[in-house]
A and B are shown apart, each in its own frame.
Chain A
Amino acid sequence: MKVLLMHPTDDFNLDRELWPESEDLVQDLGLGRLFEAMAGGDKLLSAVAKTAVLTPLVHPEEIVWRQQALADCTSHPEFARQLFDLATEALESHRRQTFWGLNQLPESIRYTSIQALETLLGFLARLRHLAEGPGQAMASPAFVRLRAMLISELDDSYLKLVETTLRELDLPRGLVMSAQVGRANRGTDYRLHKAPGRGLRERFANRGQPSFSFTVPDRDEAGLQALGELQARGVNIAANALAQSVEHILGFFTSLRTEVAFYIGCLNLQRVLLAKGEPICTPVPLPSAYPALQAERLYDPGLSLTLEGNTVGNDIEADGKTLTVVTGANRGGKSTFLRSVGLAQLMMQCGLFVAARSFRASICPRIFTHFKRNEDPSMTGGKLDEELARMSITVSHISPKCLLLCNEPFGSTNEKEGSDLGRQVFIPLAAAGVKVFVVTHLFDLAESLYEKELDTALFLRAPRQAGGQPFQLVVGPPEATAYGEDVYTRIFGKPPLPELSGRRA
């Protein structure tokens, strides 16, 4: 029985290994704030949010599966909550009640498992009732499937069968087992069997089978111990099957809780943003074959969460573009824009809504960031060494259709070298179909890319600020100044000295 609330064919694996670039993504895109808002203080919700966001889905239909389930939860948040609470209660009550010791004997494993299964059986029944009743309201394929499965798999006759079996496995009429003559004539392949319905004597008399018996004297300690071991051999495999069944049912409840937790996290984030009056939208995932990106009022939800007021956001129209170069004024919102692109892509590909008025984009198999880092703490190499090493790792992982977000790349050397490195790296990546976003102060780099007049390149500029009010990025050729004078002037209260030689162009 699979839960399949997050994927049409696979249960969500909370323990899956994340891509190696994940830690960079968390740091560079400020994902921590997002996870925090989704978690609302709950550790499990936080873990699910992190894994889900960082393991992007790559097929539109997978994304839509989650989008529809999320829409269901948005309309009926109380049902999601009830499912979550029931699963949590089942797991908690099991945890409180059952203790698997080390080296437990088969007899005690059998006993413990029967107890645990009886408890879980109650929760399975409650789950079915929940599906039958409030579950009716759910309309998304994911919830409809789950409901149908619970109703048919956990019907009354099944629950009754489990109950009867558990009672029989209590072995009220003694232990019946069989074995084969094996190595050195010792017994082997021990199996447990159902005890006959009537007394021993009757059973053998009826069957007309010879039977030889003996009794272990009460005071024969070695004999009693041997008898115990023999019983353990008989019960061993059945006890294992019982204990594994307990684990499997717990696994089901765990999956259920995990997958519902994802949607509860989505609802948490949604509530916060809506309360602020920020727009959110259901994004349109497009196949990755053609590079597409269109957004209205795309903003950084992480930033919004820390602001009193609202964000400005950007409109972008980048269909067919694989290279987007952003230049312009300091503090003009370039990095924020870069983050909002990365966040929107990740949120869309995990089935979340996107922080924008509208968003549609082609799917990226993986998403990479290349932001400035502090000086190499191990002192084994310089800053440029460190940066090139990182870029080299990224290049070894990246493939066409992936997204690469670069913030001030190769700024740790002079403009000429940095620009040259930039050209060496970005032109072939973009040509191969990697979606490259570059925020840069390297005018030489930006200008030389602009002069190539590529159809697949887009140039955005952060306009000069007036009164500290951030503006939207505008489409336009790179400029040789980042209006650093403005910042200087603001801080020093007077403008800097004029340039000596003519401004370079």
Chain B
Amino acid sequence: MTPSILYPDGARESPSPLQDRQFAVDLNLDQVFASVCEGREQLDLLSLFYSPLHDVDSVVYRHQVIADLERPQVLAAVQSFGHGMRQVRELLRSMRSLHNHWQQRRLFIDAVSAYCDAVGSLTDKLVRMGPASRGLDAFTKYLSAYRSSAGFTSLAEDAGVVLSALAQIRYTLHIKGTRVAVSQYLGEPDYAQEVETIFAKFREMPAREFLATFRNTLDMDPVEGQILDRVARLNPGPFGALDRYFQAHRDFFDSGVTAFDRDAQFYLAYLGHIAPLRSSGLPFCYPHLSDRPSSSRVKAVFDLALADKVNQPGSSRPNVVTNDLHLGPNERIVVVTGPNSGGKTTFARALGQVHYLASLGLLVPANEADLVLADAVFTSFGQEEQLGTPRSHLEDELVHLHEVIAQASPRSVVVMNESFSSTTLRDAAVLGRSVLAQLLESGSLCIYVTFVDELAEANGETVSMVVTVHPEDPVLRTYKVVRKPPEGLAYAAALAERYGLTYGAVQERVGQ
């Protein structure tokens, strides 16, 4: 049985990945995951990001593996193994695209040789470093046994012998007209060097290069192919060994090693993705999870997708605002109000992301997090308003909410953004209150972003949070979300100013 670094007990639990991924689209996690998996498409990592865990021990199991990988040497070892394995796969792919027999054989042995190097180097490093996690420790033991097996030893040693024999072959070509003769090289002196020596006395300054550049792809043209065939005839020893090697080692991959390669990329991809954010000062932490609903506490949480955008190469240091959330054991509903484009939705997304990423056993974008291990993260983000079909839009929204409420459990997290914006304010208030009442009944944790202030009336279970504006200039956003009663529309005038919608501004604009 090969151990897994993704799931405890070696029993490779393979939950079927989530099919409904709208929540990820709403939370912008789809962008994050796509970006995380970029460049590793072959490994089908994406399905792992849609396979949340359901028990706390499985999460802890991954946290331990990540803690190992956070040691720079361990990380470097596993990364270079990943590069090695990618190179192996690329060599095999190239092999299949070539036509010359001797080239195919050569790429095969190159691939095996790269594989042996990757395995050998990873084993040495892991044994030396002694991983602390259950997952990596079990794999290290497995790998050590594999590496010292007779099969692996001959795989590696035979390849070295064949390759070094090939590397020593130099041959001479004599071309006259269209005739090419191939023979062994007998140590003839290099003519270019003679030329350089003769004219060396004139060399005072570096001269420009007159070198032509040639195609450097792996495939050969017909003339090269004919030459290689003759070089093989001149050197039957090394080339014969090349053939025999291929016959002996056709199926060289070990399934435990290939599984590790893929599983490790799940962690590496994510860690690699968040590394630039962490080095620019944004916090990530191991969330503390409980398997029953209780109080929630998140410090300095931020929207990972937004941070990715702001932290694009070339842009300056990310100016990502972080927020806190602290809910008592009975507080289940967070109603977020405040000015437009003030950061309400971003805050809600961040909370949804933290819960979902925690259920993947990953580090979360926050400084500290005490959370429930969510059995599901539901979202309802009013889609872009589609003019002309307000009725069906509202219908869609209600149908979706109905389904969510039916499935939501006390361990679920529901993130709702500007629901009912396609109807009147009065309707939105009425419908909102009803939906919130039902969600409260389900016991789920709910983040509700709305422009309807009256929904934010605090009671024992509902908490009001407000996006704050700059105290002196309401047009300035702070993107800070704090616990306090809704503030009404005092900032409306400022907002009107900002969008050029004051009396004077509109008059002027209309006048031109």
Contact = CB atoms under 8 A, between A and B. Distances in A.
A and B bind: yes
A218 to B, nearest CB: 7
A242 interface: yes
B244 to A, nearest CB: 16
A185 B225 CA distance: 10
A229 B218 contact: no
Interface string A1-40: 1100000000100000000000000000000000000000
Interface string A91-117: 000000000100111100100000000
Given A174-B174, A209-B184, A238-B191, A248 B203 contact: yes
Interface string B203-219: 11101111110110010
Interface in A223-247: 223-227, 229-234, 236-245, 247
B195 A218 contact: no
A187 B234 contact: no
A209 B191 CA distance: 22
Contacts of B201: 1, 153
A275 to B, nearest CB: 38
Contacts of A232: 212, 214
A445 B60 CA distance: 82
B171 to A, nearest CB: 6
A187 B227 contact: yes
A186 B172 contact: no
Contacts of B94: 184
B211 A1 contact: no
B174 A175 contact: yes
B172 A194 contact: no
Contacts of A222: 221-222
Interface string A156-184: 00000110010001000111111111011
B174 A248 contact: no
A191 B173 CA distance: 10
A169 B202 contact: no
A488 interface: no
Interface string B149-180: 00000000000000000110111111111111
Interface band, chain B = 35 or more
B189 interface: yes
A161 B198 contact: yes
B194 interface: yes
A255 interface: yes
Contacts of A225: 221
Contact of B221 (A169, A180, A226): A226
Contacts of A316: none
Interface string A131-172: 000000000000000000000010000000110010001000
Nearest to B220: A186
A414 to B, nearest CB: 46
B394 interface: no
A237 B212 CA distance: 9
A212 B224 contact: no
Contacts of B202: 1, 245, 248-249, 251-252
A180 B166 CA distance: 9
Interface stretch (B98-106, B364-372, B410-418, B442-450): B98-106
Contact of B185 (A153, A173, A178, A220): A178
Given A1-B202, A192-B190, A230-B224, A214 B230 contact: yes
Contacts of B166: 181, 185
A105 B204 contact: no
Nearest to A230: B223
Given A185-B102, A185-B166, A251-B205, A224 B175 contact: no
B234 A241 contact: no
B96 to A, nearest CB: 13
A430 B183 CA distance: 79
Contacts of A207: 186
Given A230-B223, A240-B211, A169 B191 contact: yes
Given A176-B173, A185-B166, A232-B214, 10 more contacts: A169-B195, A176-B174, A178-B188, A184-B103, A193-B172, A212-B234, A240-B192, A244-B208, A244-B210, A245-B196
5 contacts: A184-B103, A200-B174, A209-B183, A223-B222, A230-B180
